[in-house]
A and B are shown apart, each in its own frame.
Chain A
């Protein structure tokens, strides 16, 4: 039996000799993870057609996992959040932001509140919020963690743990909404596109939960590609990827992100995110 196990292990280690020239990408959509593989397979097919290489989509569970896969060269292209993009580019030489969603140039976070708090719609960050409970989204999210924390510190002059009686991390935006809607938390910070889409889809009982403040604009999600793809897939490959992304017009494909279209982006667009990240001690 031992011999058999050793054999099995050898097979296990050597089996995945997938073609070295498969272009792999990953993405964490900010909502709706159902049939992720199937939906992004369509994006992969689209890229495959435009780029003439094998393209594969790999789902991951967290921003950190996406950054790690990107850094480890297990994926070459990723749809990152603002913060995770900065983290990833800091770790991979010559990697660059290619494109962002139309909505991402002027992104926002909504602060939402359960009706029992008595807070008025659009009343801003006020001292009445002190000692309430508050939830971020996932720990590594830009719109669910980084920017809301930044604005909270700016408004209250204190870290969130001192402002609120309890601070949690829901894990993602959809869950933030449902936790605040159920009253598990009084307040939450949520990606505005997710909020708008859920309201539009009629998934939110706006009698129970409402938007109390909208942050100023900041840049968020973007496509980032590794610097060494030209070497591996041929000169000008990164530019061809950017072309393909910018030309993606099929609403069904864009729905997966969900964005209305993609526009060019550069590393410099995210300088503000980097400085906020450093200020909050989330980036060394």
Chain B
């Protein structure tokens, strides 16, 4: 077992994470963390929405931004996916998706201001990059033969529509609907920087400790996500897409001169603006690197490493919750008339497991970190736990789903032995592929959590923006993007080396 490269790599990762644990600040500094948690729980039990201006409008805006942003992102991403062979397109997509939507929002806020376009582009742009990549992978995985045998002279579009697109369509649709759920989370979180979505009120309510309002808003948000399947119907989607742009609100008019000012003035490094030349630039850059970028990079890497390994552990522990090999599935009854086997206790456990994972993955990690930070005080701990809960929930869900495709022999062992001998070894490859796939996402989220006060790169980006120094902010955002791209390339390299296959369509 120790000869397997996969096992050695995994242990290496765990060892690295343990080392990082030693140097990371993970203390709970709140004296009464459970008291705050209790208040939050009380808020969830006694929700109160009277302190919010126009809750209906906030919900409408949350939905509208998600639909318009994801719609534009998917359309642009699809077109880009067709040109994904081009190195330029690939790099451009890698770049736009390496920057978190909150950073995009902060950038667009500088020149579009509080115009709906800020929120729409903040979602559409990085989503287009993600869509392009995943759509291209899905199209790649379709059977190339039907297209190959088409008569010479079949138009490109016809050929695409009849063969690869047709084949990939269900996967494209299911991935897009998954991203719509992500879009709702993003849309909500954009409220934290001033977009008129539900996050705007959530942040205010939290800031003032109005937990009853927090509880109400959180519950509403969960209901929105949990019922997604009920109201997002194939026939209704075009209607939503047409209506959504009119529900974004008017915001404030765009002053186009601000756009040119942003590019010709705001983001030009201060020494160049003040005519201090290259030597001034060098010392400015050196100072920025030494005091902000390098500490930020270091903390981002440390936090990412811990969060990644904890995410993996959590996913491995939790996937049995949604696996039919451990808990009977409800519809087994109808399907096979083995209803005698389905113990009601099992069914309940299955439902609870599913519910737990749904809550885990539908809480935006940003929100989760924010909550935990209030409860435990400032350290890396809230961030690590938030990232692990959110991402662990997603991977557990996907691995669990994958386990349901495994057919065990009738006399396979039960319980822990089944877990350790039958399932986990079979699922470990896909699991690792998913985890490496999410590495880049975890790092992007790690960086953004800096805005909450954890000293990752986002902390320094936020500081620069609060000090109205966009030249510094832009450099730091670019560094963040490069770091993400680097991790993505490295992860892809590892996946290729270990020959870990993953199917794009099951991958968020």
Residues of A whose CB lies within 8 Å of any CB of B are 1-2, 4-5, 8-9, 11-13, 15-18, 20, 24, 31-38, 58-65, 67-69, 71-75, 87, 91, 114, 116, 133, 135, 138-140, 166, 168-172, 174-175, 178-179, 182-185, 282-284
Complex formed: what's the CA distance from A61 to B204 in Å? 9
A63 contact set on B, CB distance < 8 A? 466
A74 touches B207 (CB 8 A): no
Choose from B205, B252, B453, B467 the contact partner of A168 (Cβ within 8 Å).
B453
What 4 new A-B contacts, CB under 8 Å, besides A4-B242, A61-B200, A182-B36? A33-B207, A69-B113, A91-B468, A282-B467
Separation of A178 and B462 alpha carbons in the complex (Å): 23
Please indicate the chain A residues that have their CB under 8 angstroms from the CB of B442 in the complex: none
User: What's the minimum C-beta distance from B232 to chain A, rounded to whole angstroms?
Assistant: 15
* Contact status A72-B258, CB under 8 Å: yes
Tell me the nearest residue of chain B to A203, going by C-beta.
B209
CA distance A36 to B207 in the complex (A): 14
B68 touches A184 (CB 8 A): no
Q: Which residue from A12, A114, A174 sits with its C-beta under 8 Å from B68?
A: A12
Cβ-defined contact, B114 with A60, below 8 A:
yes
Is B411 among interface residues, defined by CB-CB distance under 8 A?
no
Q: A64 CA to B194 CA in the complex, in Å?
A: 11
Contact A183 B207 (CB under 8 A): no
| Contact of A65 with B194 in the complex, beta carbons under 8 Å | yes
In the assembled complex, the Cα of A140 lies from the Cα of B462 at a distance in Å of 10
Q: Which residue of A lies closest to B459 (CB)?
A: A169
Do residues B245 and A8 form an inter-chain contact, with CB atoms below 8 A?
yes
Q: CA A35 – CA B210 in complex, angstroms? A: 12
Query: When the two chains form their complex, are residues A5 and B30 in contact, meaning their CB atoms are under 8 A apart?
Result: no
Q: What are 17 contact pairs spanning A and B, CB under 8 A?
A: A1-B75, A1-B238, A8-B242, A15-B246, A33-B204, A35-B52, A38-B53, A59-B194, A62-B466, A64-B467, A68-B468, A139-B467, A166-B378, A171-B207, A172-B207, A182-B377, A284-B270
Instruction: Say yes or no: A139 contacts B462, CB within 8 Å.
Output: yes
Once the chains bind, are B248 and A61 in contact (CB under 8 Å)?
no
Asked if B469 is an interface residue, CB under 8 A from chain A, the answer is yes
Inter-chain CA distance A65–B196, complex, in Å, is: 14
Point out the residues of chain B lying under 8 angstroms from A183, CB to CB.
29-32
Q: How close is A39's CB to chain B, nearest CB, in angstroms?
A: 9
Contact assessment for A35 and B51 in the assembled complex, using a CB-CB cutoff below 8 Å: yes
Interface residues of chain B, those whose CB is within 8 Å of chain A, are 29-32, 35-36, 51-54, 68, 71-72, 75, 109-111, 113-117, 120, 192-194, 200, 203-205, 207-210, 213, 238, 241-242, 244-246, 248, 250-255, 258, 270, 376-378, 453, 462-463, 465-469
Q: CA A94 – CA B472 in complex, angstroms?
A: 27
Does B71 lie within 8 Å of A5, measured CB to CB? Answer: yes
Q: Which residues of chain B are within 8 angstroms of A116 by Cβ–Cβ distance? A: 31
Decide: A9 near B31, CB < 8 A? Known: A74-B255, A140-B467: no
Assess the B208–A33 pair: CB atoms within 8 A: yes
Bound Cα distance A120, B466 (Å): 34
Q: Is the CB of A64 within 8 A of B465?
A: yes
Minimal beta-carbon separation of B29 from chain A (angstroms): 5
Q: With both chains docked as a complex, state the minimum distance between the C-beta of A270 and any C-beta of chain B, in angstroms.
A: 16
- A283 vs B467: C-alpha distance in the bound complex, in angstroms? 7
Residues of A within 8 A of B193 (CB): 61-62, 65
Given known pairs A5-B241, A133-B29, A184-B377, the reply for A58 and B250 (CB within 8 Å) is: no
Contact A61 B467 (CB under 8 A): no
Closest to B465 in A: A64
Whole-angstrom distance between the Cβ of B285 and the nearest chain A Cβ: 15
Contacts of A8 in B (CB 8 A): 68, 71, 241-242, 244-245
What's the least CB distance linking B51 to chain A, in Å? 4
Instruction: List B contacts of A133 (CB < 8 A).
Output: 29
Write out the residue numbers on chain B whose beta carbons fall within 8 Å of the beta carbon of A17: 253
Most chain B CB atoms below 10 A, which of A2, A24, A34: A34
B255 touches which of A5, A72, A91 (Cβ 8 Å): A72
CA A283 to CA B171, docked complex, whole Å: 52
Q: Contact check, B120 vs A12: say whether CB atoms are below 8 A apart.
A: yes
Nearest chain B CB to A173 CB, angstrom units = 9
CA of A1 to CA of B251 in the docked complex: distance in angstroms? 26
CB distance from B503 to the nearest CB of A (A): 25
Q: Which residues of A contact B207 (CB under 8 A)?
A: 33, 171-172, 174-175
Q: Are B200 and A169 in contact (CB under 8 A)?
A: no
Q: In angstroms, how far is the closest chain B Cβ from the Cβ of A20?
A: 8
Complex CA gap A11/B117 in Å reads: 11
Q: Are A284 and B469 closer than 8 Å at their CB atoms?
A: yes
Contact between B32 and A182 (Cβ–Cβ < 8 Å)?
yes
CB contacts (< 8 Å) of A9 on chain B: these are 72, 245
Other-chain contact of A182, B31, B120, B205 (Cβ < 8 Å):
B31
With both chains docked as a complex, state the minimum distance between the C-beta of A249 and any C-beta of chain B, in angstroms: 26
- CB-based contact B466/A64 at 8 Å: yes
> Closest approach, in angstroms, between the C-beta of A191 and any C-beta of chain B?
14
Q: Which chain A residues lie closer than 8 Å to B205 at the CB level?
A: 34
Cβ-defined contact, A74 with B253, below 8 A: yes
Tell me the complex Cα distance, A282–B472, Å: 13
A67-B468 contact given A15-B250, A166-B378, CB 8 Å threshold = yes
Given the complex, which residues of B lie within 8 Å of A59, measured CB to CB?
194, 200
Candidate in A91, A135, A179 with the most chain B CB atoms within 10 angstroms: A179
User: Which of A5, A32, A185 contacts B208 (CB under 8 A)?
Assistant: A32
Residues of B within 8 A of A73 (CB): 255, 258
Task: Determine the chain B residues whose CB is within 8 A of the CB of A64 once the complex forms.
Answer: 465-468
Q: Are A11 and B245 in contact (CB under 8 A)?
A: yes
Flag if B378 contacts A168 (CB, 8 Å). yes
Contacts of A71 in B (CB 8 A): 258
Q: How far is the CA of A17 from the CA of B242 in the complex (A)?
A: 20
**Contacting residues, chain A, for B109 (C-beta < 8 A):** 65, 68
- One of A58, A87, A184 near B114 (C-beta < 8 A): A58
Instruction: Report Cα–Cα, A282/B465, bound state, in Å.
Output: 11
Contact of A75 among B30, B110, B252, B466 (CB under 8 A): B252
Q: Name the distance in Å between B141's Cβ and chain A's nearest Cβ.
A: 23
Q: Which of B116, B194, B245 contacts A61 (CB 8 A)?
A: B194
Q: Is A72 touching B111 in the complex (CB atoms < 8 A)?
A: yes
Q: Which residues of B contact A114 (CB under 8 A)?
A: 31
**Residue in chain B with minimal CB distance to A31:** B208
With the chains together, A163 CA to B416 CA distance in Å? 52
Minimum C-beta distance from A6 to chain B (A) = 9
CB distance from B280 to the nearest CB of A (A): 12
